[in-house]
A and B are shown apart, each in its own frame.
Chain A
Amino acid sequence: DTGVSQDPRHKITKRGQNVTFRCDPISEHNRLYWYRQTLGQGPEFLTYFQNEAQLEKSRLLSDRFSAERPKGSFSTLEIQRTEQGDSAMYLCASSLVGGVNTEAFFGQGTRLTVV
């Protein structure tokens, strides 16, 4: 296992279409986070999972957004009826909570462009 992987790396979609992103965390990690990063800004927290349970959602996560982590392994983030304001880099991170070191490992992100 070489780290957190995200798919696709890039996605161009027309406004109004649905898109789904996938994140595969480091295999033994029990926490998985989604962040959104717009141009010139730092990443902003969207939601996180502890195993398969979604424990917190940011106010940034409108009703058009849904995330799942069905078996406590990979996660998907779906955006329905995309808007131009959804254009951003979507970052996934994972960590192992309960150990001595607290460190989140990030994937390379999925860059979404809504045209």
Chain B
Amino acid sequence: AQSVTQLDSQVPVFEEAPVELRCNYSSSVSVYLFWYVQYPNQGLQLLLKYLSGSTLVESINGFEAEFNKSQTSFHLRKPSVHISDTAEYFCAVTRIQGAQKLVFGQGTRLTINP
């Protein structure tokens, strides 16, 4: 079975400051890794994903995440946040084979203060 731990339930930061949202996972088999973002009263939107290849993946809005196999981590970073980044962020994994159902962490609420 897979499990995901998001180490911070809430992260408050000031606008234009850097941020890191931490994610660790556990799995006995190879997995794909994802970050999803959820705005209030909305569904989940894919932010970025790691399937294979380069361990550093980037999104179109400035977020990046690095897959670290030895530390089983997939932390999300952004060098300068904006008010519009305020949302809940979920780290998720799925087995490469089989049902490919997503296993989510509990989420990190990112709050940007002006």
Contacts and interface: CB of A to CB of B under 8 A. Distances in A.
Interface residues of B, number: 25
A45 B44 contact: no
Interface string A75-107: 000000000000000010101010001111111
Contacts of B100: 31, 95, 97, 102, 104
B101 A56 contact: yes
A33 interface: yes
B46 interface: yes
Interface of A: 4, 6, 31, 33, 35, 40-45, 48, 55-56, 91, 93, 95, 97, 101-109, 111
Interface of B: 4, 6, 9, 32, 36, 41-46, 49, 51, 90, 92, 94, 99-107
